[in-house]
Amino acid sequence: MARYDRAITVFSPDGHLFQVEYALEAVRKGNAAVGVRGTDTIVLGVEKKSTAKLQDSRSVRKIVNLDDHIALACAGLKADARVLVNRARIECQSHRLTVEDPVTVEYITRYIAGLQQKYTQSGGVRPFGLSTLIIGFDPYSGAPSLYQTDPSGTFSAWKANATGRNSNSIREFLEKNYKETSGQETVKLAIRALLEVVESGGKNIEVAVMTREHGLRQLEEAEIDAIVAEIDAEKAATEAAKKAPPKDT
């Protein structure tokens, strides 16, 4: 049977896999995506580049669900994402069929990361140009999880993370401001983080919230606008408080 036998991703003399690094570059150019894990809520937020006037924005969903209790957002090549998401969805159902149990977040993350790694070590293929943020609740313990994978196929669990454009700034913000949150506070933290690099407004970000009971819920533009307004008000209040004290002296 005819098969490609020439590998495209090969080592450089100083131990780099350039194709993987170039893939990471593609991720760095992709839309910003942020994930925050709370005690009972996990939030994913993605930057939405201004939608073309004639485009039906509902057909461009950046945050997808893989199963009833697992969701994924990504940064990078969206076409590659479609392929990866499809394989993951099949694996979620296949797992349910063979062992009569829903997948754990770690299992499906391991699967996606394994797939990404396979494409760095196979003939005739290039790596997937995307990093994913995977969220979900463990089907039995109910513990919330957030994982990140990248084109090299590595994955790890996070309390909060960002990927894509300006992810370093967002991560810095999260490192400074992260604390254990729940419910709406988790949503606010995620949106605040995303607003560090994205133009303020509900039409520039897509946010989805996952809870144990209700699964994944995409927030409406109006809801996001309301939370953004809340955040802006809080920022203005802290600014005003900073300027006020000097009068006491």
Partner 1 sequence: MECVFGLVGEGFAVVVADTSAVHSILVHKSNEDKIMVLDSHKLIAASGEPGDRVQFTEYIQKNVALYQFRNGIPLTTAAAANFTRGELATALRKNPYSVNILLAGYDKETGPSLYYIDYIATLHKVDKGAFGYGSYFSLSTMDRHYHSRMSVEEAIDLVDKCIIEIRSRLVVAPPNFVIKIVDKDGAREYAWRETVKDADVASA
Residues that bind partner 1 (CB under 8 A): 61, 65-67, 86, 89-90, 92-94, 96-97
* Residue 4 C-beta: closest distance to partner 1, Å: 28
* Residue 22 C-beta: closest distance to partner 1, Å: 30
Bridge partner list, 43: 36, 209
Sheet of 41-47: strand order equals 160-163, 33-37, 41-47, 205-211, 215-218
Bridge partner list, 91: none
* Residue 54 C-beta: closest distance to partner 1, Å: 22
What's the CA gap between 193 and 208, in Å, rounded? Answer: 14
Our measurement of the distance from residue 124's CA atom to the centroid of its chain's CA atoms, rounded to an integer in Å, reads 28
C-beta of 93 vs 121, nearer to partner 1 = 93
C-beta of 97 vs 233, nearer to partner 1 = 97
C-beta of 93 vs 156, nearer to partner 1 = 93
C-beta of 195 vs 216, nearer to partner 1 = 216
C-beta of 66 vs 207, nearer to partner 1 = 66
C-beta of 29 vs 61, nearer to partner 1 = 61
Of the candidates 40, 95, 39, 92, the one whose C-alpha atom is nearest the C-alpha of residue 67 is 92
Residues sharing a CB contact under 8 Å with residue 240, sequence separation 6 or more, in sequence order: none
* Residue 97 C-beta: closest distance to partner 1, Å: 5
* Residue 65 C-beta: closest distance to partner 1, Å: 6
How distant, in Å, are the alpha carbons of 2, 94, 232 from that of 195?
50, 38, 10
Residue 38 in contact with residue 172, Cβ under 8 Å? no
DSSP string, 113-133: HHHHHHTTSSBT-----EEEE
Continuous H helices in 69-220: 78-99, 105-118, 167-177, 184-195
* Residue 96 C-beta: closest distance to partner 1, Å: 6
> What are the backbone dihedrals phi and psi of residue 122, each rounded to the nearest 5 degrees, phi first?
-130, 155
* Residue 104 C-beta: closest distance to partner 1, Å: 17
C-beta of 86 vs 177, nearer to partner 1 = 86
